[in-house]
Copies of this chain bind each other. A is one copy, B any other.
């Protein structure tokens, strides 16, 4: 009998419980053994549910029970999730998590402890929810040098952008509807400001490039400045606006950033809508591989976590190798100003292409009229763009929207 303890019985934790019950026969076949939830650690009681007898409020009941071989951490937040995970690892229990905050901040430490204690610390669900991402990267693309990783990693913001695009909803209305549907938290700031995406792209960049990224030092721009005008123009150009996490190798350095991008519909990720996530890897042998699926939600996320349970039970402790952040040179991460892109820029002036062209040469006029002029710039470092926009502003030509072009 495989005895599992679930820490935190909210949306994801109760999903793990539900999948273990719903697909119990399939899981038993895959494990060659029965599997059950022995404990639920939560403040609440869940009376009159099948779970009520499993609830404990004292974490030590779980930590000190040698029958519990796998702890599923679904608490969210850095503490005490990190502390309980470390405790469990030191007690010889494998830990499965969907907690990207803990993985991004403490992944290196927890993986080192897991290796030392001969257990597994697996976190497939922390990136892409139910979408297979980390295991395909680590197991299927291992024969490649990875050149870039890029993806739609946050379901809430993708839902908001989809509503703005398909139904011309305002940002505020779309956010309210995301909250109503349970996609967005009551405080959605980590989603809409790109912080959640930033943690996830850092996890992927760490694994893909072998550097320890400090996600708090990575440039993250959210979607709060995106206007319906911008979405409509992108649509007219055969593109969609997507919030992307993007990590690229650039010579000896890497660029890692989160920002909204205008993505041509020629690319698979431009068509990934609603709460779906997608990650595109570029490897030097395989070329582009794209993985798409539900980025959040009770059962999809639980699907990934239960797969992690089965893997760690069947295949013993395996752990992703992860560079010590302390061993990563601080200057390996390019500053945002150094990173080159093409940009869409909308100015609050009509019919002033010539004046703009004087400062940004080879700009391509995208549209003009209705009090605005929109251009596509040639590829240039972000720092250079900012200088040019400052010059234009001094001449009364103010940029009201800047979005990178993928």
- A318 partner residues in chain B, CB cutoff 8 A: 315
> Bound state CA distance, A124 and B286, in angstroms?
13
> Bound state CA distance, A124 and B143, in angstroms?
13
B143 adjacent to A132 (CB under 8 Å): no
The smallest beta-carbon distance between A51 and chain B, in angstroms, is 18
- Which of A22, A27, A303, A311 counts the most B-chain CB atoms under 10 A from its CB? A303
A30 adjacent to B290 (CB under 8 Å): no
B145 adjacent to A136 (CB under 8 Å): no
When each residue 22-45 of chain A gets 1 if its CB lies under 8 Å from chain B and 0 otherwise, what string results? 110011001000000000000000
- A135 partner residues in chain B, CB cutoff 8 A: 135-136, 139-140
Decide yes or no whether A67 CB sits under 8 A from chain B. no
Among the listed B23, B131, B284, B288, which residue makes an inter-chain contact with A285, where contact means beta carbons less than 8 Å apart? B23
A23 adjacent to B289 (CB under 8 Å): no
The smallest beta-carbon distance between A270 and chain B, in angstroms, is 9
Known: A272-B268, A291-B291. A140 touches B145 (CB 8 A): no
Closest to A288 in B: B293
Closest to A134 in B: B140
Could you name 10 residue pairs across A and B whose Cβ atoms are closer than 8 Å?
A22-B285, A23-B285, A26-B142, A26-B143, A27-B142, A30-B142, A143-B310, A271-B271, A290-B292, A315-B318
The 7 lowest CB-CB distance pairs between A and B, nearest first, are: A143-B306, A132-B140, A286-B303, A285-B303, A289-B293, A130-B286, A132-B136
